[in-house]
Structure formats: C-alpha cells, structure tokens
Structure 1
Amino acid sequence: AHAIAQECLRQNVVCNVVGVPKSIDNDIQIIDKCFGFDTAVEEAQRSLICARVEAKSAAGIAIVKLMGRQSGFIAMNASMASGVVDVCLIPEIKFSMAKLLEHIGKILNKKDYCVVCVAEGAGQDVLDGSAGGTDASGNPILKDIGTFLRDAFKHEFKGVDVKYIDPSYMIRSIPTITTDRIYCKVLGQAAVHGAFAGFTDFTAGLVNTHYVMLPTTTIIQSARTVDPKGRQWNRLKTAIRQPDLY
C-alpha cells in the first residue's frame, strides 16, 4: 500500500490509498491485533486439545506445529488458552535439543504423555538455517521443525508413540468467529471514512483498544515479535512449568 501511494504521488495521480494490515502471525507493529488472529487462536487451541487426547490415549508425545514464521503469538496464545500444553517453542526463544529432550523425558516419567506446541519458525538455528530460496510472498523457505522434532523424539524415546499434527490449512480455512467479523467491519468502515476525508497512505487499526488511523510507514519498519521478558511469555512459562531450554 505504501509503495502504491508513493508511486501515485510520483506520477501525480490523485488516488487515496488505504491499507488494512493482515497477518495471521499477528506480527504487525503498533496494532493490538490483526483481523483473523482471534479466529486462528481459537481453532489452534482446539487442535492442541485434540492432540492431548491422542497423546494421553497412546501414552506418547503429540507435536502440533502452528503458524508463526518470525513471531510466536499464535503458539503462545493457543498454548495458554488450551491449558493442555507441556512445552511451547517459538521463534523468539532459542532452545537446546539436549535440554528439550531432558525436559520432555521428565514429563513422560511424571505423567506418561506430553503435548508440544511449536511455531513453524522455531528452532531454525537447530536446523542449521533455512531450506533455501523464497516462497511466492518473498519469505525465506523454512525447514520443517515439526518433522525434525518428530524424528528426534522417536530416536530418543524408543517405543514411545509420537504423533505429528500440522493443522495450518484447517486453521486458515475456517469461518471467522464473531469478534473478528465485527472487527473487520469496523476496520472497513474506518478505511472508507479516512479515504473520503482525503487521507492517503494510511492504515486503520486497533491501538490500545481504540480504533485509529496511522501513517502506513509506522507499521512497516519491522515485524512485531513476542517479548522474551514480557508478561505474556513468562505467564505461559509459569502456567506450564517450562524451564529455560537454552
């Protein structure tokens, strides 16, 4: 949107350009949340609850890989919401395979099963970088942390049933929940109001629970990420009793 607005300005084209930020990973700066994020977390936590049933019934390990290339907001929030996760791995927090395996071993000794939630961008340093190349959106293609963990767990915990679940496409394709539908309508109205008021190169969003209009440049400087020292992450670590794994 910013590039289009700048090109219109360069060519003296009168055109109001409005961007409504969308990212399933919720990694847009300043904005409280992107539309669709609540829906994604709602469906993701259902996948985690189902994974617990699978893990507990087989006395094994269930790995659920969720979206989150640079930011672990979906994995973190879904883990907190579900109340069934034992280990949560996100891109912002490095982990050691040795410490991870040791921690999971303790969990299995205590209750016979374990649920691991991992964001797709987590542990790329453990996997020795990216898979190479970029996707259609220009993002680096990541190696599959889910299959890597599955194979590592099978090798370490002989005889333990290990299930790997990737519900990404199911999460992306479901109908939105009520809060997201309302949010989208309000954002659309704000975008139209701003354009009719003569504004351009701006975005509509929710900031500190208030609907506002912001210059597009304020939200595109870098990706928003989970704060490793923030309350949300430490609240989750305390809830699931996850130690530092690095």
Structure 2
Amino acid sequence: MDSTISSSASLSTPKFRCFDPTNACSATTASHRRSFSNLSPSFKASSRVNMVSSENSERKIVAGDGGYVLEDVPHLSDYIPDLPIVVQKDSPRGTHFRRAGPRQRVYFESDEVYACIVTCGGLCPGVNTVIREIVCGLHHMYGVNQVLGIEGGYRGFYARNTIPLTPKVVNDIHKRGGTILGTSRGGHDTSKIVDSIQDRGINQVYIIGGDGTQKGASVIFEEIRRRGLKVAVAGIPKTIDNDIPVIDKSFGFDTAVEEAQRAINAAHVEAESFENCIGVVKLMGRYSGFIAMYATLASRDVDCCLIPESPFYLEGPGGLFEFIEKRLKENGHMVIVIAEGAGQDLLTECMRTMDQQDASGNKLLQDVGLWISQKIKNFISFLQPNFTFDVTFRHPSKIARAILENLEACLHRCLRAMDIKHTIGSWYTCITFGHVNGILSFLLNQNLISAQQKVSVTAPGPAAVSSHSCQNAFIFLA
C-alpha cells in the first residue's frame, strides 16, 4: 500500500478489501459500513436465521483508517449479548507493515541509476536466483543498464574487483549453487564502504546476507544519511537457519529442510539394517532448531530431536542415555537428530573455546555431533561390554548450503526479487523484505536485527515432534 493510501480515510471508495472481490458485497453496502455491533437487539435476533440461510443476509463490515474494508465473519457475541468472554476481546491489533510491490510513483530516471549487489556471510540456496532477478528486472522493467557486482562480500567495496552485471552475464546463474559474486565473513569498514559507494556514484545498494550482514546494512545506511547522500539501501535476508525475527521464513530454509530430510532417511535405512544401530544426524542451527524440528516432522523416522532452545541431560532417570537404552530394547535401532547449537553447555572439556568468535562475530561451536556419538559409544560399552551395536554419524549441513534450491523456493525467490526492485525504485531505504503472515512486505531494517528468532518449546511444532516420536519430556523443557 503506497503512502498516499494511508491518508485516504475520507475517500468514499476503499482502496482495497480484505476479502475475495468475487464474493464482495456491493459498493452501497460497503459505503454504509454496516456492522452487527450497530444493529438494535431486536434486529439482531430477527437476523439470526437470515444470516445463515439467505444470500442477502447482513454482512459484518468493518472500516478502518487508510481506507481498508474488512468483511468479518459472524460471531456469537453479535447476537448473544451475554456471551461470557474468557480472553480480552479488544486486544491490540499488532504492528503493521507496508506491502511490497509496484508503487504509484517512481522517483528516478533510469539513466541516473547506478545499482550494486553484494553477497555476504555463509552460502545459502537461491542467492544466484535473487541476483539474476534483480539484474534482469532492473534492465527489462526499468531500463537500468548500470548494475555492478561487488566481489567477496563487504570488503569487496574497497579491496576487490567488481563485475558489470547484465542480463547476458546472469542468464543461467540460477542453475548453479553458491554465489557468482563470491562471499566472505567480516571485512565491514563502514567509512571505506560508503566512500566507495560515493566515489563510484552508486545510488541503489542491494545487500544479500543474514542477520550480521543486515546489521552492517543498517550501519551503512546511517553513514549514508549522515552524509546526506541520495542512495537507497535494501537488505535481502538470507539464512537457512530461519532465525531472523518477524518474517515467516527466510529463503533457503525450505531447501535446507528438504536436504536434511534426505540425510535422516539415509540414517534411518542404515540404522534399521544393522543390529542395534544408532544413526546420529547433525543439522544446522547455531541458536535455533527450526531445521532440526521441521526435518524431524517431515521424515517421521526420528526417535529423538535435540535443539538449542531446550536443554537436556545425559545420565540419570529421564536422561538421554536411559531413553536410548529403552528405544534399542523396543525397536533394535534409533535415529537421533541434533542441531549444531544443542548441548554446547555439556561439552565441559571444550569450554575454553566457548568465547571465541568467527569473523562475523558468531560464537565458535564445538562439534556436538561427534561428541555425542562418542558419548553414546562409551555409555553402551561401559554398560554392556559384550553388547553388539554401532553408531553412525552424518553432517549434511555444508551440502545444504551449496545445493540448488527446489522449484517452489525458486518461484518464490523470483517473485520476491521482483517486488524488491519495485519498492527500492520508489526510493524507500533502510528496508528489508520478507513474508509476514504470507504477504511479502518490506520492513525497517532494525526490525530484523533486534533479536534472533527461536523455537518456542510450547508451540505446536515441538509438541508434534514429541508426540510422534514418543521421546522423553526432557527434550522440550521450557
């Protein structure tokens, strides 16, 4: 919704409706803004049958600021005044965001635009698709012929070569994994980056990266604003961990879950093919366990799912070792999925490295997959020295970073990149993009860097994992 719509509350015809236009009520009904709450008690009672059986029944229309019209569904309290309310009815509606897409006004001449694209952080499926769609969209839809690719991440602005990007150059890059521009962690020198942008005459900056990269994009915008430069900055969030808040999910996540599911299926086949075999699969998830949880739900072959949000313990009643012993007696095999950030507090012998960080400022984690595999071997060997068993270990995370995205994800990426071009073309800046409640929206960059999204252990997802795997309650302690 363009900014002109937000001030159009006085218009007689709403700019859009929050329901299917094919089933919409007439303009006359909408203009009257009828609502069940405004009807007399006697009329409410007489409308009770018509509301169900008649095609001409009164519709519950709610009008709001900005010209929107919501056709609500009937509620018992509309015609039963004494209906008890357990939860507060008039709760806040929450935060709203602008919808991405074409705008009513474009504030640049195509000949004046000099855009650049940079990719930072780790690899993620779909990065090349986003690069291709930005370049082709700028060229074919807006007539922009000057698009520059910055090589090697943030430091590429001042220490690396650049690549002129044209539709011919990016024609088939969506068929390759990784990024044609190269990437790196760290190297963020705000002053040097903005100096390079200013010296080259760049006025549109597209920054593709995770939460750390988006923090850098916010700092770059602040420096650009301080200098008063006519430069629009757009961040495009990417992380397969899905740990960026507010948005429904980040691109690359679906593909990573699909690849993780293949690894789980392979571990399950191997585990049930050998006597007392335990398959351990370590998945991505430094601070959040979304990949582990969703891959577990998708495969239905996992006996135990361990995520960073839920602490667990190994020994004693209700511990992991007791659960493993029980499951081996019942099934003769089992599969354990563990996120890379889970159980880090249990690696006491490696605590000296817990405060170390990589170039992006992320905490360096120990290999919890190998550690827990060895712990399981030691436990079973000590408990039953002559017991025949095997523990296999898989770590498909690096593969998930570099593979091609699946077809559905590729389609969504194309549509998202198109809307990104439309929005930044109207000179909105310090923005980032993502689906919010299923609708592609653009948000202030600070919305996505304020915190990290984590799995809620009381949500339906963890409950479903625990239900279908029958794993112990210690897996999802609050």
TM bucket (normalised to shorter chain) is over 0.9
| In structure 1, C-alpha distance between the alignment counterparts of 2:446 and 2:361, rounded to whole Å | 20
Instruction: Kindly indicate whether residue 333 of structure 2 is the aligned counterpart of residue 113 of structure 1.
Output: yes
**Deviation string for 1:122-168 (max 9, x for gaps)?**
00111135544112322110111101111111111233100111111
Deviation string, structure 1 residues 59-113 (Cα, Å, up to 9, x no partner)? 2101000000000000000011011000000000000111000001100000110
What amino acid does structure 1 have at the position aligned with 2:450?
Answer: Q
What does the per-residue CA deviation read over 1:190-236, in whole Å, with 9 as the maximum and x for residues that have no partner? 21111111100011110101111111111111100000111111111
**Corresponding residue to 2:364 among 117, 122, 141:** 141
Does structure 1 residue 225 correspond to structure 2 residue 454? yes
Q: Percent identity?
A: 39
For residues 310 and 226 of structure 2, the distance between their equivalents in structure 1, rounded to whole angstroms, comes to: 42
Residue 184 (structure 1) aligned with residue 413 (structure 2): yes
Superposition deviation, residue 7 in structure 1:
1.1
Q: For 1:210 and 1:171, locate their aligned partners in 2 and report how far apart those are by CA, in whole Å.
A: 26
1:1-246 matches, within 5 Å, as 1-59=217-275, 60-98=277-315, 99-128=319-348, 129=351, 130-158=353-381, 159-245=388-474
Structure 2 distance, partners of 1:187, 1:70, is 26
Output one character per residue of 1:36-73: Cα deviation in whole Å (capped at 9) or x when no partner: 11000001001000000111112210100000000000
SS of the equivalent of 1:154 reads helix
Measure the CA separation in 2 of the matches of 1:3 and 1:182.
31
1:132 and 1:140 map into 2 onto residues whose CA distance is: 7
User: Alignment partner of 1:229: what SS?
Assistant: coil
The equivalent residue for 2:211 is: none
Q: Secondary structure at the match of 1:125?
A: helix
TM-score (norm 2): 0.50
Normalised TM-score (structure 1): 0.97
Higher Rg of the two aligned structures? 2
Contact preservation (8 Å) 1:5, 1:201 = yes
164-173 vs 94-103, which moves further: 164-173
Is this contact kept in 2: 1:42–1:78, CA < 8 A? yes
Which amino acid is the alignment partner of residue 143 of structure 1? Q
Q: Distance in 2 between matches of 1:8 and 1:19?
A: 15
**d(CA) in 2 for partners of 1:204, 1:186:** 12
**SS at 2:405 equivalent:** coil
Secondary structure of the residue aligned to 1:235 is: helix
Asked if the contact 1:64–1:117 (Cα under 8 Å) also holds between the matched residues in 2, the reply is: yes
Moved more, 172-181 or 67-76: 172-181
Equivalent position amino acid for 1:133 in 2: Q
User: Which segments of structure 1 move beyond 6 Å, counting only runs of 4 or more?
Assistant: none
Unmatched tracts of structure 2, length 5 or more: 1-216, 382-387
SS at match of 2:412: helix
Q: State the distance in 1 between where 2:414 and 2:328 align.
A: 46
Aligned residue pairs total 246
Give the partner amino acid of 2:380. F
Q: Please say if residues 191 and 204 of structure 1, whose CA atoms lie closer than 8 Å, have aligned partners that are also in contact.
A: yes
